[in-house]
Amino acid sequence: MSRLTGKYALITGGTSGIGLETARQFIAEGATVAITGRSASGLTAAGETLGDVVLLHNDAGDIGQQPVLAAQLAKSWPRLDILYINAGDVTHLPLQEWDEQRYDQLMNTNLKGPLFLIQALLPLLGNPASVILCGSVSAHIGLAQSSVYAASKAGILSLARSLSAELHPRGIRVNGLSPGPTATPALGKLGLPAQAEQELREEIHALVPIGRMGTALELAKAAVFLASDESSYMVGSELLIDGGVGNLARS
């Protein structure tokens, strides 16, 4: 398999779940891959799993760290062919429990940080290049307790559309990749009490028309498609991998 041979790819939030599996698939397709993560131990574990990968400590929500990350890559790579913005804050809370600090933390990670990372990486992005922004089916449905998270994902999908118009003259394609309910460790990081988390899992599972959650591999395969030349005619689009959940919002 060689769809990404010779390409340099950066995946943010690549230490677990969809990001880790995507890194595995990118490497299998021939890419040179770098991943970011906030946890040093998480990066170490991911490196042991993946083998030949560049590990970069980075907090996606810290705006000042994004130019530093870009400078690190520019020192060792000739260009960047693929950027997959995957890092995200998945906090779900009832409306009355949100405060400004939690709101800013989520929005910095899911929307503000990605914007300034793309800005910092712009001189390094090749022609052609593929930028993939991780959205969510939550941007299309009204799931309880997802208000801020869903708003951030609606924002990042809008960013994909508007940046595609701005950057396609430079050979840079920007698209959104939106997972539906997917079996990853992220569900355990919502900050919910155990009973509330279980209730949310059951509610999410009931939403999926095909009767199961997605897998990290299924999302990773979609990311490979968007990263490769096979998707060269996709610009400013959103690829929904959601088991049919998005169809409910349109019915």
Q: Which of 8, 103, 149, 233 is catalytic?
A: 149
| Nearest partner of 163 among 176, 150, 152, 177, judged by Cα | 176
Distance of alpha carbon 246 from alpha carbon 137, whole angstroms: 6
How is residue 124 annotated by DSSP? T
Q: Rounded to an integer, what distance in angstroms lies between the CA atom of residue 135 and that of residue 219? A: 12
H or E stretch covering 83: strand 80-85
Give the burial class of 232: count Cβ atoms within 10 A of its Cβ; 0-12 exposed, 13-18 middle, 19 or more buried.
Answer: exposed
**Alpha-carbon span 66 to 33, nearest angstrom:** 18
Active site residue 8: no
Q: Which of 95, 117, 238, 222 is nearest to 174 (CA)?
A: 238
| Orientation of helix 147-167 relative to helix 113-121, angle to 10° | 20
**Cα gap 165→117, rounded to integer Å:** 18
Rounded CA-CA distance 179/188 in Å is: 17
- Contact between 117 and 60 (Cβ < 8 Å): yes
- Residues annotated as part of the active site: 149
